[in-house]
Chains A and B, each alone.
Chain A
Amino acid sequence: MTKLISIDPIEARQKSVIVGLEIPVNAYQSTPKQEAQKYGRENLLRMYRDMVAIREFETMLDRIKREGIYHGIAYDHGGPAHLSIGQEAAAVGQSFHLRPDDFIFGSHRSHGEILAKSFSAIAKMGEKELIEVMEGYLGGAPLRVVETFSDGNVQDLAIDFILYGTLAEIFGREHGFNKGMGGSMHAFFAPFGVMPNNAIVGGSADIAVGAALFKRVNRRSGLVIANIGDASMGCGPVWEAMMFASMDQYRTLWDAELGGSPPILFNFMNNFYGMGGQPQGETMGLGMLARVGMGVNPEAMHAERIDGYNPLAVADAIERKRTILEAGHGPVLLDTVTYRFSGHSPSDASAYREKSEIDLWRQQDGLLNYGEYLKENGHADQALLDGFQAHSTERLIKALAAAASTEISPRINAQAESIGGMMFSDRYKDRMAKGEPELLIAKEESRLKQTQAKHRFGLDEQGNPRPKLRAVTYAEALYEAMMHRFYEDPTMIAYGEENRDWGGAFGVYRGLTECLPYHRLFNSPISEGAIVGVAVGYALSGGRVVAELMYCDFMGRAGDEIFNQMAKWQSMSAGILRMPLVLRVSVGSKYGAQHSQDWSAMVAHVPGLKVMFPATAYDAKGMLNLALRGLDPVVFFESQRLYTEPETLVDGGVPIGYYEVEMGEPAVRRSGRDLTIVTIGATLYRALDAAAELWQKHRLSAEVIDIRFLNPLNYDKIITSVKKTGRVALASDACERGSFLHTVASNISQLAFDYLDAPVAVVGARNWITPPAEMEEAFFPQKEWIIDTIHERILPLPAHRASTDQATSAIMRRTRLGI
């Protein structure tokens, strides 16, 4: 979808073959002498020290989980502990060359990576910088605890700080790195480049791509590694992440001076098991995982299998791949062999593998091997190695004693709504970073000239509709909001399918292409999971992003990214991360069963998302403005029925200038006294038609309220209205069963029960597939359905003949049949 690159049919039809690249396997070659020269004794010993620290940390957790005691300190840990005993060399080797500004994202089995990356950062940072980081974290609260037991220099303090902060997080304590809200599987410490670890298999893949994209677009230094397991290669979003990371456009269409492809390294920690399934030989057919690189791009992702039992082989690979990534030639794939001795979790009886297999690997134990290597080459004697072990144990005993104590390390008070306070920041920010936004033309030369010259209200002085081309539409109102923020916030990017040139499938972005360089507005692969996941990574790295899913129905493809990532990272980080991410979702019609669904209830159900659904052009702009200035994740629903509609309900129409709609406030679209009709989305207009007919034929005065916001939602206006009228029907185009309207209805029943003159009635779409466009009237709520529902369930209308079956008997029959 770009005019800049044409597809040559001659070339496309030319006979040829694809020649595969050779993928190096365990190709590391060096000599102890070269290694001694390259790293020096001190660094070689430090790697050993770090490996021992990780081994002991995981062993300690294993004891705590299995025996409830470690060196006399008893503790009962109720949460998970996915241990990486055996994988120390892979973690330490990887981190050796990484700088503090390099990011690693991990998995549920990432304690070792947290420690290794942090130890590496501590070794590279100055004392002053380390003190600043520790003092600044959670107001210095964890540091205050560590100071009570740590002795030694600042680096020792920082190491104890990392051990304690990680452990306190694993134990769910307030002084944990995320106040205990993340726990073992989500712990992270961003100041050292340790980014969120993810309990969803492969969950870090697309998020890490988003972080790499953030670095590339905003010209930040550092590379990004996604540490994911070998079994995650079976996850669609991991593949999508690789597709997103390997798009040609970074090198063909984006400004060359940006530096090419995002600096992302997919590191598959290959411990040969996905929980109990065995990808090699059982659950997948790759043979060697590194092979996948050949399927992704002509450079085969510079893939290699490397020996994760040798820290120096891993360090070497990272150093070489850094050059590739910094040159903009990513992505890179590493298949790091790193067998785990520990089970999937302490409850794992290892029924899926022979003990003999474990014994074979134990004979190759990276930690022991490396110790032997140090001794053989004169870097250490056994006493020195034993000293590292003893010192590690000593440190851990102190950190564990402090983290296990509920006096020293209390939990947050979960009864006092403190978790509620972490769900949203409710903060707003015009720009996520300083600097001039990169733009191609001045705002005055943009399509705003045309939209601003149009009538701002859809009706003329006599109240007759103006021609739609002459008045600002809902789609254009959205465009104006996007324009405003693009010209304010240099970090803001937008992407999705058909976003550039086409201007989005529904033309909302028409006119943006001319204004924005490629890296601020681009087309993505048809990878809905990655579209959202990349946005999550971009936002939590500090950038503002608008991702688009062309149809609401495609949310199913991005389920994990919306429900588990976008929704949860603010609160799982205890508010340390922000999520200035707006996910635009278009609700369709006329396109059948897989393109016409309103799934707003699904996202409203998941805690952590703000959910908006404007129904008029005024709200489209004012609500998108609000969403785009906020720091919380918003799922922003739009209606394809409304894109071409100008404002006809709000006096004065769509303001030319900037404005915001108040968060969570429904809009009363018509006032009345006999009956309240509450709507979400485009159903508003059918409800207004129903209200008009109720007045004309039955002299019933209906109040119509468009809730606009699903979450957060202030019920004041709704309840005030229902107390007045005593009768309420709710309508939206979502299928009736499980519709968000039922949540609203239930709340109304509880908040205004004594005022009700009839049960609260919900009018939704039928619980069917959406039929062809010509038959949609049988599926979506119509004016008549609303009136008939009122007649059947709320207030029988004299002389009214119902044309549809809205009686309560229909509810019984349909629910029994499940339709």
Chain B
Amino acid sequence: MATAVVLPKPGNTVESCILVSWKKQVGDQVVAGEALCDIETDKALVEVESTASGSLLALFFEEGEEIAVFTNIAAIGRPGDSFEALRPAVAARGASAEPATPTARPGQESQDLRLGQPGAHHTDIGISPRAKNLAGRQNVAIAGLEGSGPHGRIIERDVLAAMGQQPLMTPVAKRMVAQGGYEAPAQGSGSRGRILAADLTHSASESAASSPQKAGEFEIIPVKGVRKVMARRMLESLHTTAQLTLHSSADAQTLLAYRQRLKASSEAFGLQQVTINDIILFTVSRVLEHHRELNALFKDDVLYRYRHIHLGFAVDTPRGLMAPVIHDAHRLSLRRIAQASRRLATACQEGVITPADMDNGTFTVTNLGNWGIESFTPILNPPQVAILGVGSIDLKPVEVDGEVQFMKRIGLSLTINHQVVDGAPAARFLQALAGGLAEVDLLLAV
């Protein structure tokens, strides 16, 4: 009897993973604990270890496929053991899978397909527009419904009744169905049959409707993995929070001078690679200690103010934007912060960052200064309530003793969740941060 290896859930929010590469092949002998494959979550690259020992009988997925967590990905046993029962249902596959054809009955597929109008599913079933809309929003499969309206028409109450019985669905999956383009299977691959985003299949009507007029005009890039999570979280962020961005700038002369000194310092100090961003992270970690209303998480109508400062910072990677976290940053020296940021950024770039290094951030810094962006409106990373955007360093006219002088200043943009953070405390934080940056040499002594 063969045993299945299940795709583990490598993080709390992880619903699905991309199979990056198999490390074993069918026929190989594996031992429990041995690496079987690499998968990529929305946050990190993770190694999946075999949970059984024996001969690798089957690999149920191909590299590049998106797989729901808790799905059987491989079968291990003695050669000759039956493993077909372990093969996951088609619906567990991601976007690359064939669309399900739930209305088709055996022997009738071809006929049904021929009769079907493009873009019109279930033409043989009468359904009211209202019921159809509700079914779409709530992901109720029309095909399985018994219509109770006149002439068996499916009407709103039939959909409402089905909603009471339908499998559970993750909010993301629900939203994807509601937004169109996806259909859900009767049963999901999540716990207790919950339908996950990965269980959804592209609806034929949607892809037909949005089919390119001419091939070759564009390239098709499935949005998945980190990018998909990002896409979702960015939208969620804007949908669920009241974002307000404040712009300011800080005197950057000391900052630049200090950075020059670090660069020129003895190698023995290990400070030569400290970046401007490291100094900013350091300064934020120190100033934030006195502005804890911004070092907070807002979840389900409760505000959690943190004493510890777990500082996230944005890293641009080929897979998309990532925000690794420097835990307890307020306790770390500038040098340690610089080391941590370098290590985490590299891990992100290489795709080996662990979920632990991505979790529990309480405040995030994102820096576009290198690209000459003076100011911008960073998007919050909920449940965090604030994010600091760092802009470029530019010459700005400043009045000194009645004369206009040009001084180098660095742009600061702070986005807050105005649901729980008011403008004044945010402004005070920005003011204190600007002060800290202007005299970062003194701050280092504190």
Interface set of A (CB-CB < 8 Å, partner B): 726, 753-758, 792-796, 808
- Contact flags (1/0) for B149-162 with A, using CB distance below 8 Å? 11101011100000
Q: Which 9 A-B pairs have the closest CB atoms?
A: A757-B130, A757-B128, A726-B130, A757-B156, A757-B155, A754-B129, A756-B129, A755-B130, A793-B150
Q: Considering the chains assembled together, what is the distance between the CA atoms of A726 and B153 in angstroms?
A: 14
- Chain A residues with CB under 8 Å of B156's CB are 726, 757
CA distance A91 to B131 in the complex (A): 71
Name the CB-closest residue of A to B148: A796
> Contacting B155 at CB < 8 Å: which of A753, A754, A795, A808?
A795
Cβ of B339 < 8 Å from any Cβ of A?
Answer: no
Mark interface residues in B108-125 (1 if CB within 8 Å of A CB, else 0): 000000000000000000
Could you say which residues of chain A place their CB within 8 Å of the CB of B151? 808
| Complex alpha-carbon distance, A792 and B150, angstroms | 6
* Cβ–Cβ contact A755 & B150, under 8 A: no
A757 to B153, CA, bound (A): 9
Chain B residues lying within 8 Å of A794, measured Cβ to Cβ, are 149-150
Per-residue CB contact flags for chain B residues 398-429 toward chain A (1 = under 8 Å, else 0) read 00000000000000000000000000000000
The answer to whether the Cβ of B133 comes within 8 Å of any Cβ in the partner chain is yes
User: Quick one: given A792-B150, A795-B149, A796-B149, are A758 and B155 in contact (CB under 8 Å)?
Assistant: yes
Contact A796 B150 (CB under 8 A): yes
Do the beta carbons of B133 and A754 come within 8 Å of each other? yes
* Distance of A391 from chain B, by nearest CB (Å): 70
Smallest Cβ-Cβ distance to A807: which chain B residue: B150
Question: Can you list 11 residue pairs at the A/B interface with Cβ under 8 Å?
Answer: A753-B129, A755-B130, A756-B129, A756-B130, A758-B149, A792-B150, A793-B150, A794-B149, A795-B149, A795-B157, A796-B148
What residues on B are CB-neighbors of A753 within 8 Å? 129
Q: Is the CB of B128 within 8 A of A758?
A: yes
Tell me, rounded to whole Å, the shortest Cβ–Cβ distance linking B52 to chain A: 52
* Chain A, Cβ-Cβ closest to B158: A757
Residues 232-273 of B, flagged 1 when their CB comes within 8 A of A and 0 if not, give 000000000000000000000000000000000000000000
Q: Which residues of the partner chain B approach A808 to less than 8 Å between Cβ atoms? A: 150-151
A758, B150: Cβ atoms closer than 8 Å: yes
Complex Cα distance, B150 from A794, in Å, reads 7
Residues of chain B with a CB closer than 8 A to A758's CB? 128, 149-150, 153, 155
Contact A754 B150 (CB under 8 A): no
Interface string of B121-153 (1 = CB under 8 A from A): 000000011110100000000000000111101
| Nearest opposing residue in chain B for A722, CB measure | B130
* B131 A757 Cβ-Cβ under 8 A: yes
> Is A754 touching B130 in the complex (CB atoms < 8 A)?
yes
Q: Which residue of B lies closest to A792 (CB)?
A: B150
Further contacts, 15 of them, CB under 8 A, given A726-B130, A754-B130:
A726-B128, A726-B156, A753-B129, A754-B133, A755-B130, A755-B133, A756-B130, A757-B155, A757-B156, A758-B149, A758-B150, A794-B150, A795-B149, A795-B157, A796-B150
Q: Are A756 and B149 in contact (CB under 8 A)?
A: no
Closest to A755 in B: B130
B190 → chain A, closest Cβ, in Å?
31
- Residue in chain A with minimal CB distance to B131: A757
Q: B157 to chain A: which residues have CB within 8 Å?
A: 795
Q: Which chain B residues (147-198) contact chain A, with CB distance < 8 Å?
A: 148-151, 153, 155-157
Chain B residues with Cβ under 8 A from A793's Cβ? 150
Q: State A796–B148 Cα separation when bound (angstroms).
A: 7
What is the distance, in angstroms, from B139's C-beta to the closest C-beta of chain A? 18
Alpha-carbon distance A402/B151, docked complex (angstroms)? 67
Give A57 to B311 CA distance when docked, in angstroms.
Answer: 95
The distance in angstroms between the C-alpha atoms of A792 and B149, with both chains bound, is 9
A756 CB, nearest partner CB in chain B, Å: 5
Name which residue of chain A comes closest to B150, CB basis: A793
Residues in A whose Cβ lies below 8 Å from that of B148 = 796
**Interchain nearest-CB distance for B129 vs A (Å):** 5
Of all chain B residues, the one with the shortest Cβ separation from A793 is B150
Distance, CA A241 to CA B117, complexed state (A): 64
Point out which of A756, A757, A795, A796 has the most chain B C-beta atoms below 10 A from its C-beta.
A757
A599 vs chain B, min Cβ distance (A): 31
Q: Which residues of A contact B130 (CB under 8 A)?
A: 726, 754-757
A289–B380 Cα distance when bound, in Å, is 94
> In the complex, what's the smallest C-beta–C-beta distance from B85 to chain A, in angstroms?
43
Separation of A808 and B126 alpha carbons in the complex (Å): 15
Task: State whether A756 and B128 are in contact (beta carbons under 8 Å apart), knowing that A726-B156, A795-B155 are contacts in the complex.
Answer: yes
Of chain A, the residue at the smallest CB distance from B147 is: A796
Interchain nearest-CB distance for A787 vs B (Å): 14
Closest chain B residue, CB of each to CB of A761: B150
CA A757 to CA B149, docked complex, whole Å? 9
Alpha-carbon separation in the docked complex, A808 to B128 (Å): 16
Closest to B132 in A: A754
